[in-house]
Structure 1
Amino acid sequence: MDRVDRHAPSARDRLLAAASRLFYEDGIRAVGVNTIATQAQVTKATLYAHFGSKDGLITEHLRARDQRWRRDLQRFLTGHLHPASQLGAIFAAYRAWTVADDFRGCGFVNAAAELPDPTHPARAVIDAHKHAIRVRLEDLATVADCPDPSDTAEQWFLLLEGGMLMTTLRRDPAPLDRAHDMATRLLPTQHT
């Protein structure tokens, strides 16, 4: 009787891990299902059985990336109760992901650039990811007693996304750090 390693990643997990790495490093359109299946040590039939299509795999890859982001963001926010500290933690999470990803940019923005069709199923995941960040910022602006929480959140969101873009292009975290400084100035004085 063969022993089954209960700790070994499932075929689905191996496919997601391979796709995540390859999509992020080489681009979604540049990576074929044969390459993903080979890297995951499964057959193409196994890939299709789990995800239905490459588009299904792309969508699930982005869902898994969103879940990792949410866990990481929560970890960064733990223990930060003051609005300025929470805002700093959000910028720190963006910075950590950007630097750890070797300045390759936001995986969601990169995917959106490769998937221009607004009806592609992955676009809903991308939109939901960015919307969730925007909502979190608006909640923070409300707690911080900003006069117009929606407007402040939009400014913070633009600073975050723009800071990440410039950090990626320059391969230097300084633009994101500067964006954080600018965002902090939007807090009411009692929260700075």
Structure 2
Amino acid sequence: MSAPAAVPLATHAAAGAPPRDRILATAARLFYSEGIHAVGMDRIVTEASTTRATLYRHFLGKEQLVLSYIQATDEQIRAFTSAALEGLDPREAVLAVAGALGDQLCAPGFRGCPFLNAAAEYPDLSDPVSRAIVAHRDWLRELVARLLAEAGDPEPAEDAADLMMLRDGAVMAAALGDADAVRASLARAVRHVLERAGVV
């Protein structure tokens, strides 16, 4: 449930972009498509057309680069979501977010949720990367709960938790199988939650 559309994450930067932007965009693309631990710093240096000295001038090490990737992804999603929901009443916003779930599953290049993917590689909840992942998911769950409450849902926290769980399961299922079939199944399940909540 990342936004009311497939969020265009910044995984590419123009050749003339500042070095930090090129490094972060390259890291985002490789981390998302191949996994964080599978990608070494030399690979990022090469594909970002920079030097190790430049990379380490902007990021003290890989852990800081990974944290920056998670934080930048979070910031992009928050900004995109805020802009997409602007001007919508609470019910319209809930339906827009719910409708976006399936859109994300079928987006080109979809390889699952970047936060769930990263969480699988950073299981220690005390790690700064894990804390950044949790912060994003807390924001998302609280956003959905607030929209549900404003739309008249008597149990917004419980229903937001249900929608998050449906979203997480659908993300994994779509990454492993028929995204269109998962999208249809998810739409039915989400509608049941929203009907029970009195939103639709």
One fold, TM greater than 0.5? yes
Query: Which of residues 48, 60, 80 is equivalent to 2:56?
Result: 48
1:62 is aligned to 2:73: no
RMSD: 1.9
- Tell me if the contact between 1:94 and 1:160 (Cα under 8 Å) persists in the aligned partners: yes
Using structure 2 for the length normalisation, give the TM-score: 0.82
Larger Rg: 1
State the Cα distance separating 1:147 from its structure 2 match: 2.1
Gaps spanning 5+ residues in structure 2: where?
A: 1-14
Query: Percent of counterpart pairs with the same letter?
Result: 35
- Tell me if the contact between 1:166 and 1:175 (Cα under 8 Å) persists in the aligned partners: no
CA–CA separation in structure 1 for the residues paired with 2:185 and 2:55: 40
2:109 aligned partner:
102
Aligned residues: 183
- Tell me if the contact between 1:12 and 1:50 (Cα under 8 Å) persists in the aligned partners: yes
TM-aligned CA distance change 1:68 to 1:101, over 3 Å: farther
User: 2:106 aligns to what SS in structure 1?
Assistant: helix
1:170 aligned partner:
177
Gaps spanning 5+ residues in structure 1: where?
A: 1-6
Q: After the TM superposition, which segments of 4 or more aligned residues of structure 1 sit over 4 Å from their partners?
A: none
- Tell me if the contact between 1:18 and 1:36 (Cα under 8 Å) persists in the aligned partners: yes
Using structure 1 for the length normalisation, give the TM-score: 0.86
State the Cα distance separating 1:116 from its structure 2 match: 1.7
**Higher RCO structure, 1 or 2 (CA under 8 Å, sep 6+):** 2
Aligned partner letter, 1:106 = C
TM-aligned CA distance change 1:101 to 1:67, over 3 Å: farther
Alignment of 1:48-127 (within 5 A): 48-83=56-91, 85-100=92-107, 102-127=109-134
State the Cα distance separating 1:111 from its structure 2 match: 0.4
